């Protein structure tokens, strides 16, 4: 299936319904009513959940995109929600764990193909330490839980480039000065 970029998939003005919307660099413009619709990335979060031994909790994705590949608990941030609250909610929904302290790791652009449309996303990754993985179990959209040392996870096993980048950054922290 071919996925259209967001700006190409939605051609009618959301204000007046006219078509076509003229594509500019960062927005779509309606020639009929003058409405400008900015095409900004959606925001999403991902958790590198780590226990005291340094093992990482990953999920095997039960749905596309990335069905069958490994990912990190997380998902899209809802309107009015902080990144931290979204990460706690998504982790609870996907693996049943409550997160305490969250340490920001990095952000990275991503592309998310869904229902024939390719959305631009900005992923925000956090390192989350837990005392244990006891009580964790696969829930929403999770086929199974995978607990392994982070260094044993091959990049090709991970569903999204942004997650591969986060895992690499966690596995190879910058040297302290």
Asked if residue 48 lies in contact with residue 73, where contact means CB atoms within 8 angstroms, the answer is no
| pLDDT per position as a tens digit, 51-87 | 999 999 999 999 989 999 999 999 999 999 999 999 9
CATH of the domain at 158: 3.90.79.10
Looking at the structure, do residues 33 and 107 belong to the same domain, yes or no? no
DSSP 78-92: PTT--HHHHHHHHHH
Q: Is residue 147 part of a domain?
A: yes
Number of domains making up the chain: 2
Give strand ranges (E) for the chain: 4-5, 21-23, 27-30, 36-38, 42-50, 55-61, 70-71, 74-76, 102-114, 117-129, 142-149
Residue 176 maps to a domain: no
Answer whether residue 4 shows pLDDT above 90: no
Domain residues for the domain of 88 are: 42-171
Residue located via tokens 């090709």? 156
The predicted model gives 91-112 an average pLDDT of 95
pLDDT digits (tens, 9 = 90+) for 104-157: 999 999 998 888 888 899 999 999 999 999 999 999 889 999 999 989 999 999
Tokens encoding 63: 């749905």
Q: How confident is the model at residue 1 (pLDDT cuts 50, 70, 90)?
A: low
């Amino acid at each position: 299936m071919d996925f259209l970029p967001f700006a190409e998939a939605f051609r009618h003005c959301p204000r007046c319904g006219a078509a076509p919307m003229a594509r500019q660099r960062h927005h779509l413009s309606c020639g009929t009513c003058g409405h400008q619709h900015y095409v900004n990335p959606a925001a999403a979060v991902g958790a590198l959940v780590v226990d005291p031994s340094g093992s990482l909790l990953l999920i095997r994705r039960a749905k596309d995109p990335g069905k069958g590949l490994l990912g990190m608990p997380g998902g899209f941030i809802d309107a009015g929600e902080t990144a931290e609250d979204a990460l706690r909610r998504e982790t609870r929904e996907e693996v049943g764990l409550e997160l305490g302290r969250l340490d920001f790791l990095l952000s990275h652009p991503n592309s998310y193909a869904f229902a024939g449309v390719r959305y631009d996303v900005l992923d925000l990754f956090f390192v989350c330490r837990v005392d244990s993985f006891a009580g964790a179990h696969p829930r929403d959209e999770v086929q199974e839980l995978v607990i392994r040392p982070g260094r044993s996870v091959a990049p090709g096993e991970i569903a999204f480039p942004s997650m591969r980048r986060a895992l690499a950054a966690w596995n190879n922290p910058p040297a302290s000065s």
